[in-house]
Amino acid sequence: MTAPVTRNRLIGLALAVAVAVIDQAVKMYVIGPLALREVGRIDLLPFFDLTYTENRGVSLGMFQANDMETRWLLVLVTAAIALVVLVWMMRERLLADIIGLALILGGAIGNIRDRYDLGYVIDYADFHIGTFRPFLIFNIADAAITIGVVIILARSLLVRDKDETKTGDTPRGEPSDA
């Protein structure tokens, strides 16, 4: 039987792979059978459409990669960040922290694959309220990264891990009752 920490890390790796695979499968579906690249937009619901966009930048379209050098620089930088997230995830012990990092890692892998293969990231999810768009057009990878970041931030700001002490030990700085 594997230790709980090992199990948690394996769950995290599986989740990261699942996010990347689902992201790529949906992107293939929207540009393949749905032909979203050709039609440009498919109205689905009063508040949600599929709208084809090629994102050549990173977050919020910043740092546009309009030439080969910048494209490969973005691939390299985002791959380095993904590697840091992987190392961080493999050092964590708690499943909640690992899940947040796995979502970030899986989303990063999905978007890195697009940028590596195509030179841009395919975005298609267009949430809106009338003409108001609270988000830019995004994809599953972007959503996973955002949810992962929210989990990590919420846990770091709201959850305080208790000091692990052995029976009879007192936490540092606290006087003993004896």
pLDDT in tens, 73-87: 888 999 999 999 999
Active-site residue, selected from the candidate residues 23, 97, 123, 126: 123
Residues 92-104, mean pLDDT to the nearest whole number: 95
Q: Name the more confident of 103 and 62.
A: 103
Q: Is 142 considered catalytic here?
A: yes
Element (H, E) at 29: helix 4-31
123 noted as active-site residue: yes
d(CA 100, CA 146): 9
Q: CA–CA separation, 101 vs 90, rounded Å?
A: 9
Kind of pairing between the strands at 41-45 and 121-127 = unpaired
In order, the DSSP letters of 124-157 are EEEE-BTTB-SS-SB-HHHHHHHHHHHHHHHHHH
Least confident of 57-66, 154-163, 166-175: 166-175
Extents of the domains making up the chain: 4-158
CA-to-CA separations, 61 to 17, 23, 32, 131, 148, in angstroms, rounded: 25, 19, 24, 20, 20
Per mean pLDDT, which range of 9-23, 64-78, 124-138 is the poorest? 64-78
**Looking at this protein, which amino acid is placed at residue 58?**
V
List 126, 142, 161, 163, catalytic entry: 142
Looking at residue 59, what is its pLDDT? 63
pLDDT attached to residue 178: 46
